[in-house]
């Protein structure tokens, strides 16, 4: 089989969701109590698989994903277990842990990163102030380094810092197979519409996620005026939607 034939075959497989992989950031903002995950991959529907947040922690489960690891990790954090202890316990009980990548942070500042030996190159992780970053099947270590550095250097809203970090990872090379989906998930004392967004199938998911993010922020800002135009006087509580986790 020629090199070109191999490339076509590989592209065919991952475009149909057969190969896992991702890069993501999990973070905590102590000043506001927010936790969040931003993630992108060449797999459809990453927002349904990888990011998990709660009032106590942010976790991303990836590589050959085990969704329950993310859900159970944040549940344990909500019960007072540190993220390192929670994640260690989950992986210890997982006979296929060598294929997993799991990372996160809790609101106590405890961080955890794990990349199993059977993750696909390039894979690895970095930790920084109030965040962890990990990725697998990437173009190289520049991706996770760019995500981390940009998160630290970006000012403004927590969600904006996560979005900018994700964009930096994509600009640095991202998933070496391409790009299909992206997601942003934030837990906040005052949830906003732009705290839970996902692009499931796109040729440029990070850019599309940015567009959705900006539109959601604009919608959030305009909602009180639009409600007044439609209803006149109204109870403020009816436009306090909350978000789904």
DSSP string over 97-151: GGGEEEEEEETT--EEEEE-TTSPSS-EEEEETTEEEEEESBS-THHHHHHHHHH
Question: Residue 207 corresponds to which tokens in the numbers above?
Answer: 């850019």
Residue 67: how many CB atoms within 10 A of its CB? 12
Q: What is the pLDDT of residue 17?
A: 42
Q: What is the pLDDT of residue 176?
A: 65
C-alpha closest to that of 155 among 29, 40, 25, 24: 29
The enclosing H or E element of 37 equals strand 34-41
Q: What is the pLDDT of residue 22?
A: 87
- Whether the predicted model's global pTM rises above the 0.85 cut: yes
Q: Which string of b and e fits 149-164 if b means at least 16 CB within 10 Å? A: bbbeebeebbbebbbb
How far apart CA 132 and CA 105 sit, in angstroms, is 7
Q: What is the pLDDT of residue 183?
A: 98
Residue 223: how many CB atoms within 10 A of its CB? 14
How far apart CA 121 and CA 168 sit, in angstroms, is 20
Domains, the chain: 13-239 (3.60.20.10)
Q: What is the pLDDT of residue 21?
A: 56
Q: What is the pLDDT of residue 142?
A: 95
Q: Which string of b and e fits 180-209 if b means at least 16 CB within 10 Å? A: bbbbbbbbbeebbbbbbbbbbeeeebbebb
How far apart CA 241 and CA 195 sit, in angstroms, is 12
Q: What is the pLDDT of residue 175?
A: 65
Q: What is the pLDDT of residue 149?
A: 98
Going residue by residue through the chain (245 aa), what tens digit of pLDDT does each one get? 333 333 333 343 344 443 445 899 999 999 999 999 999 999 899 999 999 999 999 999 999 999 999 999 999 999 999 999 999 999 999 999 999 999 999 999 999 999 999 999 999 999 999 999 999 999 899 999 999 999 999 999 999 999 999 999 999 987 666 689 999 999 999 999 999 999 999 999 999 999 999 999 999 999 999 999 999 999 999 998 888 88
Question: Quick check: helix, strand or coil at residue 42?
Answer: coil
């Amino acid at each position: 089989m020629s090199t070109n034939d191999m490339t076509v075959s590989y592209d065919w497989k991952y475009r149909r969701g057969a190969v896992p992989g991702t890069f993501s950031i999990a973070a905590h903002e102590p000043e506001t109590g927010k936790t969040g995950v931003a993630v992108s991959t060449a797999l459809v529907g990453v927002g349904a698989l990888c990011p998990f947040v709660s009032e106590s922690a942010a976790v991303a489960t990836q590589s050959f994903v085990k969704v329950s690891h993310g859900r159970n990790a944040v549940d344990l954090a909500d019960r007072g277990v540190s993220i390192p202890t929670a994640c260690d316990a989950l992986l210890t009980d997982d006979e296929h842990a060598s294929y997993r990548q799991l990372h996160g942070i809790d609101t106590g500042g405890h961080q955890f990163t794990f990349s199993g030996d059977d993750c696909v190159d390039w894979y690895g992780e970095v930790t920084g102030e109030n965040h962890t970053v990990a990725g697998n099947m990437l173009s190289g270590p520049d991706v996770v380094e760019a995500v981390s550095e940009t998160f630290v250097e970006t000012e403004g809203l927590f969600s904006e810092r996560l979005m900018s970090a994700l964009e930096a990872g994509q600009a640095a090379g991202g998933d070496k197979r391409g790009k299909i989906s992206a997601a942003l998930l934030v837990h906040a004392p005052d949830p906003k519409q732009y705290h839970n967004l996902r692009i499931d199938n796109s040729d440029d998911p990070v850019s599309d996620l940015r567009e959705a993010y900006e539109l959601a922020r604009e919608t959030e800002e305009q909602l009180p005026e639009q409600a007044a135009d439609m209803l006149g006087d109204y109870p403020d509580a009816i436009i306090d939607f909350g978000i789904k986790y």
